[in-house]
Structure 1
Amino acid sequence: MTASLKPYLDSLPSYLSADNLGPWETYLAQVEKVVPMLEESLQPHVETLRRPKRILIVDVPIRRDDGSYAHYEGYRVQHNTSRGPGKGGIRYHQDVTLSEVMALSAWMTIKNAVVNVPFGGSKGGVRVDPNTLSRNELERLTRRYTSEVNILLGPDKDIPAPDVGTNEQVMAWMMDTYSMDQGATVTGVVTGKPISLGGSLGRHDATGRGVYVVAREAARRIGLEMKGARVAIQGLGNVGDAAARIFHNAGAKIVAVQDVSGTVHSGAGLDPQALQVHRRTSGGFAGFPGAEVIDNEHFWDVDCDILVPAALEAQITPGRAERIKARMVVEGANGPTLPEADEVLHGRNILVCPDVVANAGGVTVSYFEWVQDIYSFFWSEAEINDRLDRIMAEAFAAVWEVADSKAITLRTAAYVVGATRVLRARVMRGLYP
């Protein structure tokens, strides 16, 4: 337990355990660091950030293909809706916990405020390994989960999106289930949908593209030339794959990649598209021309200029932070760096571009999709990418300016920007009744 959090234990909600706060503790530690830097008029309202607005825990029963029944635990957490409807993904993973979903919803609150889109923060999840379900079982799980959390959802209430273990097909099932209950097709209830159902062009690569834009803007400010820059990426899912391709196309060298199938390294650089084809056809990285498979833990020892953790939370521990050889870390995942590791990286003068701005490309294009669905007027992919580039660059510039003026880290600066916007909205709205 971080020392600064000990006073919080006196008012700890009954559904949390002081012995194991999980990812929620990471979020709270980040908030506590920011509190002294907020305007005096906002101080009485800080508790708003420490408590989710609404938590729904549901049982998700389904009939398996063999006729048996299975029950899964599901969550939907709305952390804050002061600035607009809740916005955040749905995660299908066997290790999902309430603490994790709470933290992810809170990071969405800050993230949406940092990029200044008119959303609050929410998140959902089901404790299930989707790889153990058939397509029919996955559809039944999704429809049942949607029906259980339906009371919270709506294009002006709470808008889900894909996350770990979910995709555009899952969003299509969610949208259809919600629409059947409403008696009309409501495309704006989720984002990350297929293009044929009101999805947005550019959405698939949006988070990875945003990671690249933030890295580009940070590199320019520290004098790092992107052409030839060495990039190591952890995670080759939607975010990591898109980021790898976009970095590669910009002239950077992808020198290491890690995912569930292992870790591959090449000082001369990897072609990410060829690597993906090889992985799909061979089941792993072994045998990829011009590269070597290395131990997973040695990923953190790779010489690089830019490190992109784009997998799950809590990957950069204090011990790993001592070994990282990058000039900057750009967080493609949510919460990949532990607070203690943050301090280590700062002490080593390694710039950290925090998740709440670095991976906000996805929710930014989700906002575009939501707007397009409301007006039934759709933009070209070039327009989407141009708007995304501008919003991400402006958001990073605002965070950089605060960090520079207050002599604080980019993460703390991002929380100052985000928390200030959230709490100002809370103050102006007041309390009802």
Structure 2
Amino acid sequence: MTMDRNAPFISLVWTDHITGRRGYLVVDRLVRGVASGGLRMRPGCTLDEVTGLARGMTMKEALHYNPEGRYVPLGGAKGGIDCDPRAPEAYDVLVRYLRAVKPYVETMWTTGEDLGLSQELVDRAAAEAGLVSSVQAVYPLLEDETAARRRLAEAFTVEVDGIGLDALVGGCGVAESVLTALDRAGAPRAGTRVAVQGFGTMGGATARFLARAGLPVVAVADIKGTLAHPDGLDVEALLAARDAYGTVDRAALRPADRELPGDAWLSAEAEVLVPAAVSYAVDTENQAVIGARWIAEAANMPVLPEAEELLAARGVTVLPDVVVNSGTNAWWWWTLFGDVEADADQAFTYTRRAMRELVGRMLDRAEADGTSPRAAAHALVADRLPMIAERFGRYR
């Protein structure tokens, strides 16, 4: 019998006995008996998708391994539910899913918000499902559980200009990834235009940080279409006018702002594209209309591998998701383990420093090896996973 050494530790399919909807849980790897990864809800979610996301979480955890930090990276996992989060039955499906996987959440899988689900919704459903917390599996690894839980709870109450800190740190990391790439290329921030697909937690925060860094955000796409202005949209006004799903109230638009088709963000006259919504957004066909120089993957798996090869041949650099959007997950653990306190300035400073260092190492490796940033990130993971396994063991 041939053994697949890359097979997940756990892979399961759940079927809701009331609606027939499917849910999935994949634990790719355990470190100290625990794995980390969010729970998403979207129509069309598949086991293959969740498996790839779980593997990506293993990589994100490994990339943030710091032997001197309090936070010790966990293994990678992911959950997914094939359901429209706007559907009337969605919340009840979520509760039943969490009841079904409760033993895993209690013992090995720490989870939280992801595509289609807010942390508030996950927390509420977890409580209804009888869970202490969606991250309770990590509690035995904490030196002072009471202090750690208080610190994380306080962090979730912090707001910056009307937006919660928890909804900002990921976008801070994405923005810093973009700025690092621009700085290394000698590209000026002023005049470097940005187009963002998705205006929820990750896309909205990324747009805020890039706009505040001096980059005009010339296009923003939500479920209703693309909003555009060649000199830059009023990002703060759009953020104030969006709903819980990242859809912008068109009444907030200025007279000169334009409403374009939903896929117009791809061909926007911008140097940087930030896909921050769904997976598989850039394929072999629509990549041809992209004129940007950089693509920063704020979403998980938004660029298909075949499309990335075609983009690379045209000189378009894809900054991969396993690095670019890893800030949210890392912040959770930096806060819980005590590397940062419940303070926005401290969180942003730590995130910027960590992401700049990580993106720099990735780009250095890509240049040295003559490979893509994604291949370089994978190489860094391959270097680090054995280090983690040697120190903590590998539960496979």
TM-score in terms of structure 1 length: 0.77
- 1:14-413 aligned at under 5 Å gives the runs 47-49=4-6, 51-61=7-17, 69-82=18-31, 85-116=34-65, 118-133=73-88, 138=91, 140-154=92-106, 157-177=108-128, 180=130, 185-186=132-133, 188-189=135-136, 197=153, 199-200=155-156, 201=158, 202-278=165-241, 283-284=249-250, 288-372=254-338, 378-413=341-376
Assess, with a 3 A threshold, how the Cα gap between structure 1 residues 389 and 132 changes in structure 2: closer, same or farther. Answer: same
Q: CA deviation at 1:391?
A: 1.4
Alpha-carbon distance between aligned partners in 2 of 1:318 and 1:70, rounded to the nearest angstrom:
35
Secondary structure of the 1:335 match is coil
Q: Which has the higher helix share?
A: 1
Q: CA deviation at 1:322?
A: 2.5
Alpha carbons 1:262, 1:284 under 8 Å: kept: no
Q: CA deviation at 1:426?
A: 4.4
Q: CA deviation at 1:404?
A: 1.6
Alpha-carbon distance between aligned partners in 2 of 1:89 and 1:77, rounded to the nearest angstrom:
11
Secondary structure of the 2:21 match is strand
Alpha-carbon distance between aligned partners in 2 of 1:321 and 1:412, rounded to the nearest angstrom:
20
Secondary structure of the 2:121 match is helix
* Structure with bigger gyration radius: 1
Alpha-carbon distance between aligned partners in 2 of 1:396 and 1:300, rounded to the nearest angstrom:
24
Alpha carbons 2:335, 2:342 under 8 Å: kept: no
Alpha-carbon distance between aligned partners in 1 of 2:369 and 2:153, rounded to the nearest angstrom:
46
Assess, with a 3 A threshold, how the Cα gap between structure 1 residues 357 and 129 changes in structure 2: closer, same or farther. Answer: same
Question: Could you list the runs of 5+ residues in structure 1 that have no partner in the other structure?
Answer: 1-9, 12-44, 62-68
Q: CA deviation at 1:430?
A: 6.9
Assess, with a 3 A threshold, how the Cα gap between structure 1 residues 313 and 361 changes in structure 2: closer, same or farther. Answer: same
Secondary structure of the 1:129 match is coil
Q: CA deviation at 1:368?
A: 2.3
Alpha carbons 2:105, 2:135 under 8 Å: kept: no
Assess, with a 3 A threshold, how the Cα gap between structure 1 residues 286 and 186 changes in structure 2: closer, same or farther. Answer: closer
Q: CA deviation at 1:195?
A: 8.8
Deviation by residue 1:337-395 (Cα, 9 ceiling, x = unmatched): 111111112111122111110111111112124325xx9x9432211111111111121
Question: Could you list the runs of 5+ residues in structure 2 that have no partner in the other structure?
Answer: 66-71, 139-148, 159-164
Assess, with a 3 A threshold, how the Cα gap between structure 1 residues 84 and 324 changes in structure 2: closer, same or farther. Answer: farther
Assess, with a 3 A threshold, how the Cα gap between structure 1 residues 297 and 177 changes in structure 2: closer, same or farther. Answer: closer
Alpha-carbon distance between aligned partners in 2 of 1:113 and 1:83, rounded to the nearest angstrom:
13
Q: CA deviation at 1:429?
A: 6.6
Alpha-carbon distance between aligned partners in 2 of 1:269 and 1:173, rounded to the nearest angstrom:
38
Assess, with a 3 A threshold, how the Cα gap between structure 1 residues 286 and 95 changes in structure 2: closer, same or farther. Answer: farther
TM-score in terms of structure 2 length: 0.84
Alpha-carbon distance between aligned partners in 2 of 1:282 and 1:408, rounded to the nearest angstrom:
39
Alpha-carbon distance between aligned partners in 2 of 1:104 and 1:359, rounded to the nearest angstrom:
12
Secondary structure of the 1:153 match is helix
Alpha-carbon RMSD: 3.0
Report the equivalent of 1:66.
none
Alpha-carbon distance between aligned partners in 2 of 1:198 and 1:118, rounded to the nearest angstrom:
22
Deviation by residue 1:237-285 (Cα, 9 ceiling, x = unmatched): 1111111111111111011111111012211110112124456598448
